[in-house]
Each structure stands twice: as structure tokens, then as C-alpha cells.
């Protein structure tokens, strides 16, 4: 079983985070690359630019965003497999930039990796 945590890029790194993976296509605004303590960056697994722009963090679009992003992940099997291989080795934390801690692409990605 995978041990996958979630953390905003603006939060301080902690040793318990394990392998820290930025799962955003764009670098989070105002975050220093030196202070993120990232082990990996997987921008290819993030939602497409089109999907991200369409969603725009509008809560009413959240259910459809999840469906569309899961479809993108299904079509991106190689990147998902690579991410699963990393997650199988040790605890992992997906790092994301969104303000909403419940409705963001990292939550969808974590659920997808665990379920599939």
C-alpha cells in the first residue's frame, strides 16, 4: 500500500514528508526553489493547461474537473506508472500550490494512484 501525503508548497518541509514531489505544471507563485526541498518534479502528470484554465478553482466545476483529470491520468499511463514506482519505495508527499486544501489536483492524483 502507498503512503502518500499532501502538502502545500508554501508549508515548510519536514523529514516525515519522505520523498517530496511537486505535482504542478507551473511553479507555485512566490515559492523559492531553494526552500522547497523537492526530490522530484512531475509536471507531465499535472492537469493539462486547458483543463487547469477551464477549472479556474471554481467550486461548482470541481466534480467535472475530477472526472476530466482522471481521464487525463488514464491517458498518461506511463507517467502514472513512474509515479507509482516512486510511491512504492517509501513515504511520499505530493506538493501542490493551490490554496484550497480539499479541492485541488493533488487530491485527485493521490486518490487515483491509490485506487488504480
Q: What is the DSSP letter of 112?
A: H
68's grid cell: 476530466
Over residues 65-79, mean pLDDT: 97
Cβ(8)–Cβ(97) below 8 Å: yes
pLDDT at 77: 94
pTM of the predicted model as reported, rounded to 2 decimal places = 0.93
3-state DSSP: the chain helix, strand, coil percent, rounded to 5? 45, 15, 40
pLDDT band at residue 15 under the 50/70/90 scheme: very high
Over residues 48-75, mean pLDDT: 97
Indicate the number of domains in the chain: 1
| Domain residue limits at 108 | 4-115
Q: Where does the chain have alpha helices with state H?
A: 49-55, 62-75, 77-87, 105-115
Amino acid at each position: 500500500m502507498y503512503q502518500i501525503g499532501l502538502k502545500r508548497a508554501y508549508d515548510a518541509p519536514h523529514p516525515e514528508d519522505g520523498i517530496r514531489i511537486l505535482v504542478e505544471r507551473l511553479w507555485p507563485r512566490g515559492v523559492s526553489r531553494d526552500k522547497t526541498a523537492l526530490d522530484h518534479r512531475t509536471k507531465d502528470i499535472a492537469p493539462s493547461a486547458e483543463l487547469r484554465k477551464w477549472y479556474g478553482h471554481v467550486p461548482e466545476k470541481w466534480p467535472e474537473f475530477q472526472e476530466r483529470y482522471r481521464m487525463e491520468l488514464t491517458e498518461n499511463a506511463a507517467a502514472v506508472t513512474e509515479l507509482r514506482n516512486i510511491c512504492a519505495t517509501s513515504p511520499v508527499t505530493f506538493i501542490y500550490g493551490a490554496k484550497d486544501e480539499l479541492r485541488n489536483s493533488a487530491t485527485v492524483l493521490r486518490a487515483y494512484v491509490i485506487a488504480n
